[in-house]
Structure 1
């Protein structure tokens, strides 16, 4: 892939998002590392070799998304690849889930990707190239007894639906896919998880660098299509 392409990764100052940034930079892309806390983002970006810079981006805040898009536009930076990685993981059983917990999960896990897609995908369509990767989970699958944990799974099931909607709303030169990274050793996944962040990031990086003949509108794990 040409080094002229630029990727924006959300929730990227640690864990899977940070691994995605590093692997994309290794692949020759310019990388914008999105982080709610700009200083943490800058420290994370400083540890990556290659053209990586941090931007303040809180996907749960529509003003933050708009401000980030405006700053990038003013700097002449176009986003060719969007990796919607930012997420939260509420684990309460259904009857313990408050309306606020569900709302927070939807704000980050669903509406965050909705906002960034609306901000950046139209430019991809206009320029004739784009890759969107929504970091989802098998916890959102409807084929495994329903979303689980409830607040998290409901939001991820909705993110899968959003993936299909966006894929069906753009021409084929913009590839829009979802993926499950698996159980990864991060702050979210815990120390007992079997996969490293690099292993969890692999499918996202593959989807972010698909060729023109690559798939779109699919859900992947370990680079293989899985059921919604």
Structure 2
């Protein structure tokens, strides 16, 4: 029996990942559709079509204890987990003031990611997958060289959290310095760096057990939020964008993907 979980799954790519898993897995398998609003979770579960059983669970990744508690419950219920997609994200528009939203933004996108990694990596079954949805913006190419060491030198998730907290505080205080104005860039780099750190710590064990921990880039997607920033009229739908991510979750592991940012089956170099 396969057990899968998707965060931020009540709409868009997250919901498409749930439906794709439900369609590709078997009736004996379970896919957990999670979100922070009970009514939206329940409504989303009702719309998913597929063979596997889909269950709704509350999970607000901004809550410091929520991921750990849900991982504990699922570990007791199933003994472990096979597939986790970390897709929860706070969406922002061009008119949002970074100084006003940065606290909530980092709690969801960055600290939410490291909480998920800490909570679910220990209960991954053999041949498990722990995939964080990031972006090609999560590479050092988009960051001033003076800042690169902040994301290449840390050796723990705690140290990554410290760098994100430093960036958050600099943004709140209006002293961004070399940090880019577009908050998606440091945030996505922080997500990819967190994946890299955790994967490095676990590499030998994960390779022996067939486990894959990676960041994934779905590319541009035709969603209302993306449309606030770019012309996405010809971009793939969430269901289309989910295909490559589902392939990564369900196909045999490619060792070179471990700890990397992967787009359409290819590694996107971090630096």
Counterpart in the other structure of 1:199: 240
Separation of aligned partners in 2, 1:149 and 1:21:
33
Post-superposition offset of 1:93? 9.1
Counterpart in the other structure of 2:42: 42
Does residue 1:27 correspond to 2:24, yes or no?
A: yes
Alignment of 1:204-215 (within 5 A): 204-214=245-255, 215=257
Post-superposition offset of 1:72? 2.3
Post-superposition offset of 1:145? 5.5
| Alignment: residue pair count | 221
Offset from partner CA, 1:139-163 (integer Å, 9 cap, x none): 2222245686622211110101011
Separation of aligned partners in 2, 1:13 and 1:226:
28
Match of 2:134 among 133, 136, 147: 136
The structure whose Rg is larger is: 2
Match of 2:57 among 49, 55, 58: 55
Match of 2:213 among 176, 186, 190: 176
Unpaired segments ≥5 residues, structure 1:
none
Post-superposition offset of 1:75? 3.0
Q: What is the SS of the residue equivalent to 1:139?
A: coil
Are the aligned partners of 1:131 and 1:175 in contact in 2 as well (CA < 8 Å)? yes
Aligned CA RMSD, in angstroms, stands at: 2.4
The structure where helix makes up a greater share of residues is 2
Q: What is the SS of the residue equivalent to 2:9?
A: coil
Separation of aligned partners in 2, 1:128 and 1:111:
26
State the TM-score, normalizing by the size of structure 2: 0.73
Are the aligned partners of 1:91 and 1:149 in contact in 2 as well (CA < 8 Å)? no
Q: 1:166 to 1:61 in 2, by over 3 A?
A: same
Unpaired segments ≥5 residues, structure 2:
145-178
Are the aligned partners of 1:93 and 1:150 in contact in 2 as well (CA < 8 Å)? no
Structure 1 stretch 30-39 or stretch 51-60: which is displaced more? Answer: 30-39
Match of 2:13 among 4, 12, 16: 16
Q: 1:187 to 1:60 in 2, by over 3 A?
A: farther
Q: What is the SS of the residue equivalent to 1:156?
A: helix
Match of 1:150 among 182, 204, 210: 182
Match of 1:190 among 227, 234, 249: 227
Does residue 1:165 correspond to 2:197, yes or no?
A: yes
Separation of aligned partners in 2, 1:184 and 1:52:
24
Are the aligned partners of 2:142 and 2:185 in contact in 1 as well (CA < 8 Å)? no
Are the aligned partners of 1:83 and 1:204 in contact in 2 as well (CA < 8 Å)? no
Post-superposition offset of 1:62? 1.6
Are the aligned partners of 1:178 and 1:219 in contact in 2 as well (CA < 8 Å)? yes
